[in-house]
Amino acid sequence: MWTLIHQICSRNATNLHIPWIPGHCGIAGNDEADHLANQGQIEDQREVEIDLKTAKAVSKRHVLDTSRNTPTPHSRQRGRSVATRVVLTQLRCNGESPILQKYLYDIGASPSDACLQCGQSPEDLHHALYNCPEVDFFQSLIPGDPMESLWESPVEMIEFLRVSQRLPIA
């Protein structure tokens, strides 16, 4: 799919911005896609022919999904579940994460972009990492500049997000 998107954009000299959006929160196109995917999933697919390449890809994905959803003692200990890694990646993508009110407001999933902890607007990535008075106390957990720590000190950053109650995962 990514190859196809890249080819289409290259052919038409187009830049394409693909944002991450949360599921199951009333976004019309997303809800429709989810509905159609669920509809397709319950249909009898035993007679649908697939090529060997697709069968291999489906098998590989199933094994990866199964192993990813089973945290190892090591990953659990360090608080780096798939969900926390997703949040970290979203924050690295200019803060396009549903843990930030500005992002939820921008996509129409929240009526306000105000920080739920201090009430200031907007609660964007800069606010969450630098300006929120509710996180001052915890900033000593981050070894350097918060923005750089998103990349260079992920374990400390996850701990910072967890204790400052921005991470929805225990």
CB of 101 to Zn ion, least distance (A): 9
Q: Which is nearer to Zn ion, 30 or 117 (CB)?
A: 117
CB of 130 to Zn ion, least distance (A): 10
Of 126, 166, 122, 159, nearest in space to 145 by CA? 126
Query: How far is residue 20's CA from residue 97's CA, in Å, rounded to a whole number?
Result: 8
CA angle 77, 82, 86 (to 5 degrees): 125
User: Contact residues for Zn ion (CB under 5 A)?
Assistant: 115, 117-118, 132
Q: Which is nearer to Zn ion, 75 or 117 (CB)?
A: 117
What region does 67 belong to: left with phi over 0, alpha with psi -120 to 50, or beta?
A: alpha
What region does 132 belong to: left with phi over 0, alpha with psi -120 to 50, or beta?
A: beta
CB of 119 to Zn ion, least distance (A): 7
Of 111, 152, 118, nearest in space to 132 by CA? 118
Q: Which is nearer to Zn ion, 55 or 116 (CB)?
A: 116
Q: Which is nearer to Zn ion, 87 or 100 (CB)?
A: 100
CB of 126 to Zn ion, least distance (A): 11
Q: Which is nearer to Zn ion, 89 or 117 (CB)?
A: 117
Q: Tell me the Cα Rg of the chain.
A: 20
Contact call for residues 150 and 91 (beta carbons, < 8 A) = yes
